[in-house]
């Protein structure tokens, strides 16, 4: 299975522009023959811990405007994991949707959200592509070993980890190594491949992210890692 992990500058409050970035990136992934592409946590609307922003940004998976924009991805071969704030009835989730040929084929909701106003998810769906079974853990889910174990119990050999490590400038350096170590631990403890995709660069109010986009093999070895502070695409074959 060939995977593509995208490290990107964050896009805030502009879903159409985010979709345009995703479309361009998926075309690049297709050129590389990727089967699955992974994008950062809440990349669709921009991440936040603020309840008011989260509530304003959240969208339903069946929102007609979102579905219409996703149609622009219909010609893309690669499947895509795309992070978003999802409105689901009266609840809001920090979710990641699986998009194939411009259609939403599944959704995972973060079980351990730190974002104010987000409701924990409860399910652990897995999907299949190119001979691999895969699922999703989102960022702080990595603090809950049961979350990744649940995917492996369902047959997953690959755990996709959308991240958003944009933190206050004084805090961001403190999480560079722990974030990578969490990915290593997840891979090693579950004997599974782990791929992350993170934002990088500066956001609002002095927040910043170095970027922790990487591929980790089942032994816990980092076999590919994006350079900090730059937008890039990692492409890697796992077997």
> How many CB atoms lie under 10 A from the CB of residue 35?
19
Can you give the pTM of this predicted structure? Answer: 0.97
Give the chain's domains with CATH numbers.
2-237 (3.60.110.10)
Helix, strand, or coil (residue 184) = helix
The answer to whether the CB of 59 falls within 8 A of the CB of 45 is: yes
Q: pLDDT-derived band of residue 23, with 50, 70 and 90 as boundaries?
A: very high
Residue 204 has a pLDDT of 75
How many Å apart are CA 47 and CA 1, to the nearest integer? 29
Cα angle at 54 between 50 and 59, to 5 degrees? 175
pLDDT of residue 145: 96
pLDDT category of residue 206 using cuts at 50, 70 and 90: confident
**pLDDT score at 52:** 97
The confidence band for 80, taking pLDDT boundaries of 50, 70 and 90, is: very high
Can you tell me whether residue 85 is helix, strand or coil?
A: strand
Whether residue 17 is predicted with pLDDT greater than 90 in this model: the reply is yes
d(C-alpha 239, C-alpha 225), whole Å = 18
* Neighbouring residues of 205: CB distance < 8 A, sequence distance ≥ 6: none
The dihedral sign for the CA sequence 107, 110, 114, 120: positive
Strand pairing class (79-88; 91-100): antiparallel
Residues 96-155: pLDDT tens digits?
999 999 999 999 999 999 999 999 999 999 999 999 999 999 999 999 999 999 999 999
Q: What is the pLDDT of residue 205?
A: 79
Give 170-192 pLDDT, tens digit per residue.
999 999 999 999 999 999 999 99
Cα gap 122→110, rounded to integer Å: 8
| Separation CA 61–CA 127 (nearest Å) | 18
In whole numbers, what is the pLDDT of the chain averaged over residues?
A: 97
């Amino acid at each position: 299975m060939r995977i593509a992990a995208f490290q990107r500058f964050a896009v805030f409050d502009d879903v159409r522009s985010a979709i345009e970035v995703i479309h361009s990136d998926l075309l690049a992934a297709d050129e590389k023959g990727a089967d699955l592409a992974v994008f950062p946590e809440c990349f669709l609307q921009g991440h936040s811990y603020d309840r008011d922003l989260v509530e304003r940004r959240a969208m339903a998976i069946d929102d007609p405007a979102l579905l219409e924009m996703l149609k622009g991805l219909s010609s893309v071969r690669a499947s895509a994991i795309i992070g978003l704030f999802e409105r689901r009835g009266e609840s809001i989730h920090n979710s990641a949707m699986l998009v194939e040929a411009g259609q939403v084929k599944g959704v995972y909701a973060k079980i351990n959200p730190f974002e104010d106003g987000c409701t924990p998810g409860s399910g652990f769906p897995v999907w299949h592509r190119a001979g691999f079974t895969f699922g999703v853990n989102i960022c702080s889910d990595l603090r809950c070993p049961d979350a990744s174990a649940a995917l492996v119990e369902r047959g997953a050999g690959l755990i996709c980890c959308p991240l958003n490590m944009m933190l206050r400038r004084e805090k961001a350096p403190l999480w560079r190594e722990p974030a990578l170590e969490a990915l290593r631990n997840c891979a090693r403890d579950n004997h599974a491949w782990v791929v992350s995709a993170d934002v990088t660069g500066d956001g609002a109010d002095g927040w910043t992210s170095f970027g922790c986009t990487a591929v980790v093999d089942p032994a816990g070895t980092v076999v590919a890692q994006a350079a900090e502070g730059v937008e890039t695409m990692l492409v890697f074959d796992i077997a």
